[in-house]
Structures are given as structure tokens and as C-alpha cells.
């Protein structure tokens, strides 16, 4: 399994590039976001690679960042989403924007992507909502319990970032017994975590 390639770009277009690695040319399919980061001339590049193996083909998908590769792998895990559609998603939206759209349930923004209809957009939200916070911490879902919402608001007023607050408070809600999830307890426990 090829995980990354480092070499010189021989050819490139908006959807693929040919990379020479010690005399062997690898054809790699890429999103537009990765094309933008390729060297102008035939310079050296390192791409993170996802290798797709089928009976009739081995296809290499390349990405400029680990986050793009992780998101691609999550996308192709969604039923009905193949490599081509996953590349369309990455070409249409930055990783952080996609993660934010999924976290907020914004099907309208997602359905504007070429090949993503309303039904696919809703499927992406349902299947990926809880899987993107390790790719983009800002994608941590908002807190939905009134004591937790009050605690989160208080922590934000103390100067902590919203994404860090939501992630921490949601983690505490999952760990603590319901009776312990008072606003005061959540603030105290979150402060201990956020200050380290």
C-alpha cells in the first residue's frame, strides 16, 4: 500500500499529475485544492496517497495535506460516494468549510457541490456528523443540553475558543453521570482540561 510519494512533477492538470519517483512515473488523481499547491514548474512535491485497489485497476489519489487525505477516506466510506465524487467535494470546498457544513447540518451548501444532490448531502451529514472532529476540531457539534450550553457560554466569555469549548463540554457530558452535569460542575471540570 502506497501511503505517500515524493518526487518531481512531470505533468499536471486540474485533476491529475504524473510524479517521477526515482525513474518510475506514478499517475495520481488529485483535487483542485492539491493542484493549487503543486510547484509551478516541474519541481519536487510530496503527496499523501490513498491507494484504491480493485480487480481491474489500482488507482492512486493524492493530497497536499493529511487532513485532505483523512477527509477523502471518510467520504468514500459513505454509501454511494466513490473516489470521483469525493475528489469533487475536496475540489469544491476547503476541509474546514466542509466539516463546518456537516457539523451544522447545512445540506444546502453541500448540495451545491457537483454530483451531490439533496439526498446525498443529507446522507453525508448523517454518516459523517460524529466523525470529523479529529480532522477539523471546529467540527465538534454544538452542545445541546441547557446546563452544558450555559457552561459553554461562560467558558467562551472567559476567552476560550468555541471549538475547544464545545469539544471539551461534549466529552464531559459523555463521561459524567447526568446528575453531575450541572453548569457549575461542567465549568469546573472544563477549566481543568482547557488550562492544560
What's the pLDDT band for 151 if we cut at 50, 70, 90?
confident
The tens digit of pLDDT for each residue in 2-56 reads 899 999 999 999 999 999 999 999 999 999 989 988 987 778 999 999 999 989 9
pTM of the model: 0.69
**Which among 174, 104, 90, 190 has a CA at the least distance from the CA of 139?**
104
Tell me how crowded residue 82 is: count the other CB atoms within 10 A of its CB: 12
Q: How far apart are the first and last CA of the chain?
A: 38
Supply 72's cell numbers. 477523502
- Residue 184: phi and psi, rounded to 5, are -60, -45
The tens digit of pLDDT for each residue in 55-111 reads 999 999 999 999 999 999 999 999 889 999 999 999 988 888 888 888 878 888 898
pLDDT of residue 12: 92
Amino acid at each position: 500500500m502506497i501511503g505517500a510519494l515524493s518526487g518531481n512533477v512531470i505533468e499536471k492538470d486540474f485533476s491529475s499529475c504524473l510524479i517521477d519517483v526515482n525513474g518510475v512515473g506514478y499517475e495520481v488523481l488529485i483535487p483542485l485544492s492539491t493542484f493549487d499547491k503543486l510547484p509551478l514548474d516541474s519541481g519536487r512535491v510530496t503527496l499523501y496517497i490513498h491507494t484504491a485497489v480493485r480487480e481491474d485497476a489500482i488507482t492512486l489519489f493524492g493530497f497536499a495535506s493529511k487532513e485532505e487525505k483523512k477527509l477523502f477516506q471518510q467520504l468514500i466510506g459513505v454509501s454511494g460516494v466513490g473516489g470521483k465524487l469525493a475528489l469533487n467535494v475536496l475540489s469544491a470546498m476547503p476541509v474546514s468549510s466542509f466539516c463546518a457544513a456537516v457539523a451544522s447540518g447545512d445540506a444546502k451548501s453541500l448540495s451545491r457541490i457537483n454530483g451531490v444532490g439533496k439526498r446525498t448531502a443529507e446522507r453525508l451529514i448523517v454518516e459523517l456528523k460524529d466523525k470529523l472532529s479529529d480532522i477539523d476540531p471546529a467540527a465538534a457539534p454544538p452542545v445541546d443540553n441547557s446546563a452544558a450550553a450555559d457552561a459553554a457560554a461562560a467558558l467562551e466569555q472567559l476567552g476560550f475558543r468555541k471549538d475547544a469549548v464545545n469539544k471539551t463540554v461534549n466529552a464531559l457530558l459523555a463521561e459524567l453521570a447526568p446528575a453531575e452535569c450541572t453548569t457549575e460542575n461542567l465549568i469546573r471540570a472544563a477549566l481543568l482540561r482547557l488550562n492544560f
